[in-house]
Amino acid sequence: MSDSLMGSMALGDSNLKPIIDGSTLIGGVYYMDYDECVIVSNDRWKDRAGGVPRHCYLLATAADWENPNEFDEDDAYAMLLRAKGPAKLPNEDDLMEVRAEAMRKKVTGNTDSQSPEVPTNNEDVLDVLTRNEIQFSGIEAKILGTVYEGDNELKFGTDVDTFYSSARYQVYKPQEQALNKLTSIQTRDDEEGVRVGRVRYSSTERTPIGDEARVPIDIRDVIGSKTAVFGMTRTGKSNTMKILATAIFEHAQKEDEEIGQLLFDPAGEYANPNEQDEMALRELSQEYTTVYEWGGGSNSDTESLRMNFFEEDNIKAVWSEIQNHVPDDAGYKKDFKGADVVGPDNRNDNYSAYYRAQRRRSAFYAALKRAGFGMPDDFSSTVPTHESVRNYIESNSNLSLSTGNGNVYLSEDDIESFWKVVADNRNEINNTYKDATGKEKDWIDAQLENVLVVFNAETGRGYRILQSARNFHDADESGFYARDIYDKLADGQMAIVDMSSGTESSVKITSETVIRHIFNRAVDRFTDDKTLHDIQIYLEEAHNQFNRDNLDEAPDQDPYVRLAKEASKFNIGLIYATQEVSSVDDRVLANTANWVVTHLNSTNETRELSKYYNFEDFERQTREAEDKGFARIKTKSGRFIIPTQIDKFDAERVENAQRAAGYQSSLTDQQ
């Protein structure tokens, strides 16, 4: 077989050829090293290519793709470049003089500077050769890496393994379809990735790149990893979060994977339609999404963020809420929070601890009642007692106790009175109590004592310290919102926690309670050697949680510290958004796999950003371009930053996601 025929076959079979065919020649290389090159171009060539904006991709190739007979199979590669700005050519000084003279003559309108009144036309100003010569200019470009053929597919390396005489290289500007193929190199080989937007080079788009220049991301880069969304208010952070959440939904449905998604929604924009995009994430599917809010419950299409504080099954969650609400600014509060009102799960594990926790819990319920917590109609509290204690209470009160099997059964009507008698007669009750052997023993132990101090308001504000938790209580609720949210996430559903109607304190406590519960359940599964659930958590205003002071000062069990340090270990992905790169602890940034950066208006912020990857190349654009949704994207498997116009989250986006996922329920059906 002849060499020319082999060359033709190699050229025709190359996966790189369609990219070159879909690109426009803009010039050749004048100078090249391992990191940068200088391109010689011409105004006419640049116009034909639609201009050469800063940051646009270019391809330098040594192969003659138009002449198969001259093709060398070893040349089936191209260097991927990014335009940086103008560069000085060897004859630049001479060209500058000619350009200046031409401009002077054009402005004065004649060839004789002494006779400005005599007009001339442009042909009199410059001859054809000179006019052509001054249109040449240099373009400085950064070498991002090499696109090459390997194992019958395109691959990308982030450097060059050699370079030849610069005269061999022609430079092309990829157009719409070619860009689509180049950006697809960023995803793994077995799937195309999920579209998040299109390539966009600059704020000024006189000739916008077509919509087919798609920017896909491999959604597996996001699952289980940290993803940062940086940008000022109103530059598209929330829209980006919606696009990512929709992309994960689409991926999970297509791949039949269960990926739970939890979005904390401080402004209600994920749960409810708004003027910007007229759509809400919940409209992906009524079966897939659940919204939680303080006003939710049985009479609405949302779930409640409250729980019944008097339900025994909720005691762990209730006590956790109390720990959050009661500060440690006084000794009696610390003592109260140190009481064990939960006890062992199984009575047989420790009879004494089980029964003592029951007594403390009942006294705690009485304190809640005094603090104004409404009680359910069917409330009942079991208090293990000794006969001598029951006799004393009935003898010193008007109570007629319901008893049986060594217990007192208290209802809403008598629980407060019962514990009031106990609190007012602690010494006497302890003096009457003897165990089965006749030995005197304190029925009211130190921990029950600490609960009674709060119930009886004997120190400080007493039971009033519990009142701040009333917003989290609903006597008509039967479940615990954090447990319900976790169960939804474990089933691969989306939970949106609408906090728009909550106070700053309630928002903080609710989010911490939910995250803590998720981590506790994940740890349980991890230690029991069970398969971990894939869960994605979305956080707005993340600088409040991930600043250095918070991470250094908070205890290791703080939910946000655990998110920052342990999330990936438990298959928990984190997508966080903030306006301030500098406010996020370096340890969090260093472990952030995916970056989406829109507009930042501060030099301090763009300088901080420039410490990571190649964001220094985009520092000026990041600071100056305020276009909504115009972002720079770097993903975990992506080898270079892509300037992107992120798609708008709208009805079309939702319908496309449902259609691509093959989901049964469409937006049209829901409406």
Query: For the segment 286-313, what is each residue's pLDDT rounded down to a tens digit?
Result: 888 999 988 776 657 888 888 899 999 8
Question: Which ranges constitute the DSSP H helices of 88-156?
Answer: 92-108, 122-125, 128-133
User: CA 193, CA 96: separation in Å to the nearest integer?
Assistant: 48
The pLDDT of residue 552: 77
User: CA 630, CA 634: separation in Å to the nearest integer?
Assistant: 14
Residue 104, pLDDT > 90, answer: no
Supply the pTM of this predicted model.
0.81
Residue 347: alpha-carbon gap to chain centroid: 43
The pLDDT of residue 13: 65
Same domain, 231 and 375: no
Q: Determine the structural domain holding residue 537 and report its residue range.
A: 217-289+480-652
The pLDDT of residue 28: 94
**Domain end (from 448, 472, 496):** 472
| Mean pLDDT, residues 243-261 taken together | 92
Is residue 279, in this structure, part of any structural domain at all?
yes
Same domain, 493 and 461: no
Is residue 118, in this structure, part of any structural domain at all?
no
Same domain, 258 and 332: no
Best-predicted range by mean pLDDT among 3-12, 129-138, 649-658?
649-658
Same domain, 530 and 407: no
Q: Is 455 exposed, middle or buried (0-12, 13-18, 19+ CB in 10 A)?
A: buried
Q: Which amino acid is at 227?
A: T
Q: State the number of CA atoms in the 13 A half-sphere of 222 facing the CB.
A: 34
Residue 133, pLDDT > 70, answer: no
Is residue 111, in this structure, part of any structural domain at all?
no
> Which of the two residues, 188 and 283, has the higher pLDDT score?
283
Residue 646's beta-bridge partner residues?
A: 197
Helix, strand, or coil here: 461?
coil
User: CA 456, CA 366: separation in Å to the nearest integer?
Assistant: 10
| Mean pLDDT, residues 343-356 taken together | 90
- Look at 38-42, 105-109, 407-411, 554-558 and tell me which has the smallest mean pLDDT: 105-109
**Domain end (from 439, 454, 472):** 472
Residue 491, pLDDT > 90, answer: yes
Same domain, 468 and 525: no
> Which of the two residues, 231 and 436, has the higher pLDDT score?
231
**Domain end (from 447, 472, 497):** 472
Taking alpha carbons only, the member of 270, 275, 309 closest to residue 290 is 270
Same domain, 34 and 173: yes
Average pLDDT, the chain: 86
For residue 515, the domain's CATH number is: 3.40.50.300
Who's near 427: CB < 8 A, 6+ residues apart? none
Instruction: Look at the chain and report how many structural domains it folds into.
Output: 3
